[in-house]
A and B are shown apart, each in its own frame.
Chain A
Amino acid sequence: MPLASVERSEWDGDHEFVIRPNCSLSWKGAKRYLALQTAVVLLAAAPMIWMGGWPVIPFAGAELLALTAAFYWVLLRAHRIEVVTIQGDRVWIRRGRRGPEEEVAYPRGWAQVVLHRAASGLDRSRLFLQAYGRPTEIGTALTSTEKEGFAEELARALGRGQRLNRTAG
């Protein structure tokens, strides 16, 4: 689970929280690394074909596919931004990489912040925004400590006497 940063903005009683997972590698950097690794793997495998050891090639190909898939998955997760917007009487949770790919809305008056604390030191806390018994997990990129702070902030931002509900694992 990556560390994340929470950017906050507030205007006329409305709030927006943008959660960005920490990622030290850009897509461009990943492409550069994958190109270098692919070149080296293929340079290592190419003489094998010349010498008659072609069975090296399928293994090299499978490995490069696995490497690319792993990096794609990690980067996809690390570049997925989560935006919680509290505007007027609505609360929106939007997630996506380049734009909102997933959107959930709750009425502000009914929305509750629920922090489910870790059952033991081995586990992690989970944070939910819910209304009408429909919970949506938020801040999955945050660590347990970050979730504590963010949950309180979110409850305060919802306003109207909202309290943060904490449940034990």
Chain B
Amino acid sequence: MSEAVGHEHHGPPSGLLRWVFTTNHKDIGTLYLVTSFLMFLIGGVMALLIRSELFQPGLQLVDPHFFNQMTTMHGLIMIFGAIMPAFVGLANWQVPLMVGAPDMALPRMNNLSFWILPFAFLLLVSTLFVSGGAPASGWTIYPPLVLQTGDAFPLLILSIHLMGLSSIMGAINIIATILNLRAPGMTLMKMPLFVWTWLITAFLLIAVMPVLAGAVTMLLTDKFFGTSFFNPAGGGDPVLYQHIFWFFGHPEVYIMILPAFGIISQILPTFSRKPLFGYTSMVYATASIAFLSFIVWAHHMFTVGMPLAGELFFMYATMLIAVPTGVKVFNWVATMWRGSLTFETPMLFAIAFVVLFTIGGFSGLMLAIVPADFQYHDTYFVVAHFHYVLVPGALFAIIGAVYYWLPKWTGHMYDEKLGQWHFWLSTIFVNVLFFPQHFVGLAGMPRRIPDYALQFTEWNQVSTVGAFGFGFSQLLFGYIVWKAIRGGQQAQDRVWEGADGLEWEVPSPAPYHTFETAPEVK
């Protein structure tokens, strides 16, 4: 009888098929992170092409249309292909470990939400090879410009729908896991900050993804089915698209930064050997930022011709975001204050995040001021601003998180010396890359142009040198991670002396199935 039972039972597939059919949160987290790194490299090559063309005025390497395709694809790939999947990968690895759950609440849906992505990315990248080339309207895909896209247009819309579908399924899974599968004793206000920020991020994702889906569907019907949502000749309004897009787009900005806040709130207390200062205020600040993200969208479009009352409302609402963000920065600094600090690589990236993200935040405040924005709009100042938020902001947090949790994932310590090299190279070059863009932007250099006036040459050259330095530094990151996967000093269960949380209670590397018995929540 026992044998008969045995025949019914099949183990999971091994080899490559394991990765195709896996429903394990750790496997899927790894898949997300690897995919994200590959997309980061593709988007990075596009960035280097853009910076190479801008090394000097005039047209050198590419024609203007291809340049526009590169700026568009770089934006789409970095946002939807690199940053977002990296955060989802970190959530997949860490959320169950941090709340004491053996896996995600919906493991099969988790598998599906990942495996949609490679097809979506393939569709997106394939647009480079179809007649008319890739979309060239900027990542915001504004009509009527985007409607001039050639055969790539339906592929673009389909890939955005697929990426959105994947995001929604991922968000549902994360919320279901956090709300349903917390270990006994883990109340909401005992959850680690990374879990809190992801809960709020998933809430935001579910709220705004239908808006993006609706917007791109309207573009599709305008192009192929004769509707006139955005066509003034048929009674439509192109500014409507901008409203709808940014109603999605601004919360999307916070979707890309809130999990970063959570990561920094995990790393800083560990290496300060102190509990996080103001945990409760951090939770409320995150929720406040999420709420405010819904009422500030029009600050992206001050120059379209809004009533004065509208401009004032969106200006003040935007400036209000500085309050909860300031609470966070204050709490991070207060956490470090009089702490017993050590400066391992994750801590270095976290400190750099606090300083450099704050620079991005301040330039955001400048852009929030309507009369100033009229000057800065569509200049390189805006490019510098959002790259400070997304690169030394979101990306540094992701890199810091990888260094922080890598020993738990692989069971091996990474090479600390190489990690420090990676940090210093990245931090120096990221500033060489983006800081000069403030200067050329304030001096009036427009964004999304392949050629520029002579007076912008020097700072553009500095910026290009920084881009190559930063880009090549990330190859070192890939090598460090690869080296840690292959071997290295054995990591302890509690990898970092000051680390606190359920993920440090399980062995290193974390077993394939964790929390076989209920963990004890203190």
Chain A residues close to B by CB (< 8 Å): 1-3, 5, 22-25, 29-30, 33, 37, 40-41, 44-45, 47-48, 51-53, 55-60, 62-63, 66-67, 70-71, 73-75, 78, 112, 114, 116, 118-124, 126, 128, 130, 133, 135, 143-146, 165, 167-169
Contacts and interface: CB of A to CB of B under 8 A. Distances in A.
Nearest to B202: A37
Contacts of B237: 52
A120 B206 CA distance: 37
B102 A75 contact: no
Given A3-B515, A56-B244, A74-B106, 4 more contacts: A23-B181, A24-B183, A37-B207, A53-B229
Interface string B500-522: 00000000000111011110000
B11 A118 contact: yes
Contact of A37 (B14, B206, B515, B516): B206
A114 B2 contact: yes
A151 to B, nearest CB: 13
Contact of A63 (B109, B209, B221, B247): B209
Contacts of A128: 5
Candidate in B169, B206, B210 with the most chain A CB atoms within 10 angstroms: B210
A149 B103 CA distance: 21
A160 to B, nearest CB: 17
B105 interface: yes
A146 B207 contact: no
A120 B513 CA distance: 11
Contacts of B6: 116, 167-169
Given A74-B106, A116-B6, A167-B5, A55 B217 contact: yes
A24 B182 contact: yes
B243 A74 contact: no
A73 B176 CA distance: 10
Contacts of B211: 44-45, 48, 56, 60
Interface string B100-113: 11110111010000
Given A2-B181, A167-B3, A122 B210 contact: no
Given A45-B210, A53-B244, A146 B9 contact: no
B203 interface: yes
A74 to B, nearest CB: 5
A3 B103 CA distance: 10
Given A40-B207, A51-B243, A143-B102, A3 B518 contact: yes
Contacts of B483: none
Interface in B3-28: 3-6, 8-9, 11-12, 14, 18, 24
9 closest Cβ pairs, A-B complex: A56-B214, A145-B516, A119-B11, A59-B210, A60-B210, A24-B182, A59-B213, A143-B516, A55-B214
B468 interface: no
Contacts of A120: 11-12, 14
A63 B206 contact: yes
Contacts of B5: 114, 116, 128, 130, 135, 167
B244 A123 contact: no
B208 interface: yes
A53 B229 CA distance: 7
Contacts of A29: 179
B218 interface: yes
A145 to B, nearest CB: 3
Given A44-B294, A66-B172, A167-B5, A55 B221 contact: yes
B168 A53 contact: no
B139 to A, nearest CB: 20
Contacts of B233: none
B179 A25 contact: yes
Contact of B184 (A22, A63, A71): A22
Contacts of B247: 44, 47-48
A22 B179 contact: no
B228 to A, nearest CB: 10
Interface string B449-475: 000000000000000000000000000
A169 to B, nearest CB: 5
Contacts of A143: 102, 513, 515-517
Interface string B176-190: 100111111010000
A110 to B, nearest CB: 10
Contacts of B512: 121-122
Contacts of A62: 210
Given A1-B102, A52-B240, A114-B1, A41 B210 contact: yes
A55 B218 contact: yes
Candidate in A30, A44, A116 with the most chain B CB atoms within 10 angstroms: A44
A5 B3 CA distance: 29
A119 B7 CA distance: 12
B215 interface: yes
Contacts of A59: 209-210, 213-214, 217
Interface string B189-231: 0000000000000010011111101110110010000000100
Contact of B24 (A22, A24, A122): A122
19 contacts: A22-B184, A23-B180, A37-B207, A44-B211, A45-B210, A47-B247, A51-B243, A52-B229, A52-B237, A63-B206, A70-B172, A70-B173, A74-B105, A116-B9, A121-B513, A126-B9, A133-B4, A144-B516, A146-B517
